[in-house]
Structure 1
Amino acid sequence: MKDAEVQKRFFDQLDDFGQLNQLFELLPGVSFFVKDRRGRFIALNRRGCEYCGVSSEEQAIGSTDLDFFPKQRAEEYRADDEAVMRSGEPLVNRIESAPESEGSPRLVMTSKIPLRNRRGVVIGIAGFSRQIEQLREQSADADAFSLVVNHLHLHYDEALTTSQLAEMAGLSVSQFERRFRHAFGSSPRQYLLRVRIENAARMLVETEQTISQIAHACGFFDHAHFSRSFRRIMNTSPSEHRQRHRGK
């Protein structure tokens, strides 16, 4: 209890939350943000402002993801925010679409936590994200993984195995899986699945191919597995996604 009181007194003395925000300005490529329960931005660092296309934090305060990002992206982010606030549990190292155009293949790794008031009621979320390419460049395993990740993005439609990817990186399967998870926060299979689903989501909107054709073109050989994976990652079915975003 004594330690908790010391902590409380210290934070009560802070003049401005923005002082802590300055810390995130020192981390290259990291987007930091705080939102209230309605999804409105309350705080952003410089990288977050760049993603939103504004020159200062003041221009983004009070706005939501829908004001800055493609509708599909904004709805994905909002769904994650609501899940964190509803469960009260953090979301850690989630690989998701970068806040760019609908067809962008870039991915970011995002973590979010619920923010509570003094009564313990969740009043919003705080989070940060880093672009996958930047994580790759800064990793000690950058050289080994650069070729592998590029291969995943170019050949996601093929029947890739972890052993093949490990061999490409010059590592044993166990070493490869451990180092990949350390660098990207997910297993190689999870990363590949996300890349496949992202490309499938794009094709559902941009092409006239059937859902089965798109599933096969993205490396899925079972329609049911594709539909389950798509819903788990995108929080909607392939047909609902196509209907919602077609023509936007």
Structure 2
Amino acid sequence: ERRSFPYGVDDVEWARANGYGGRAAREDERARAADPNQRWFHRLPARERAAARTALMGASPVGLSARTPTGMTLTASTQGCLAQAQRALYGDLAAWFRVKVVTMNLRPAQEERVRRDPRYTEAVGQWAACMRAAGRPYDSPDASRSAAAALADDLPAERADAAETALAVTEATCATGTPLSRVSRALDHTYGDEVRALHRDEIDLRRRLQNDALPRAERVVSPPDRSTDATKRSGGSHA
């Protein structure tokens, strides 16, 4: 049920079954609210919540800095349990933070290039004309999605889901009935290759750090050898 459509929904059958994915998003939100760690955290008094956050993340996001492929600079602390755990797993905390920031933001960089391409802009214009003809005067898939999100604020859940689904089906029908689906998929593939090529070193280093961390992680999470313990307690093997 959970799919991403960064350039507009272009699967009519999926849209008919899921709308924009609003029902799945509500299920995810309920699951997060039911998480015992979150329930414990939110029950803490304000001062203890702040202390718990500091213990996990450090007192302030200072010490680590990396630039995303889209030009943003992200920072984090070298202190706290999260930094301590990542340092133990990956060894070089600064290198791990840098490659994680870069590789986790390859998709936004890829989508940014697609949206700037004149071929995509032209395809969106044809999609918008199709939507207007269908009585949905939205200039872009983002505007259509925003309109769908607003339905949840104005209507009961069941009616909002039905209205969202109808809008998503129209969006998908226009995406597949105009060049938008074909053009956006082709551009996404092209710019995906381009972005990954530009950041091949970071991708390779992340993979290497993760592979090197696996034996350490396995030692942490592996259960104790109960058979060895039992043998020691009994004084020998029964084999």
- TM-score, length of structure 2 as denominator length: 0.24
Q: Tell me which protein shows more helix as a share of its residues.
A: 2
- Normalised by the length of structure 1, the TM-score is 0.23
When you count strand as a share of all residues, which structure comes out higher?
A: 1
Q: Which has the larger radius of gyration?
A: 2
**More contact order relative to length (CA 8 Å, sep ≥ 6):** 2
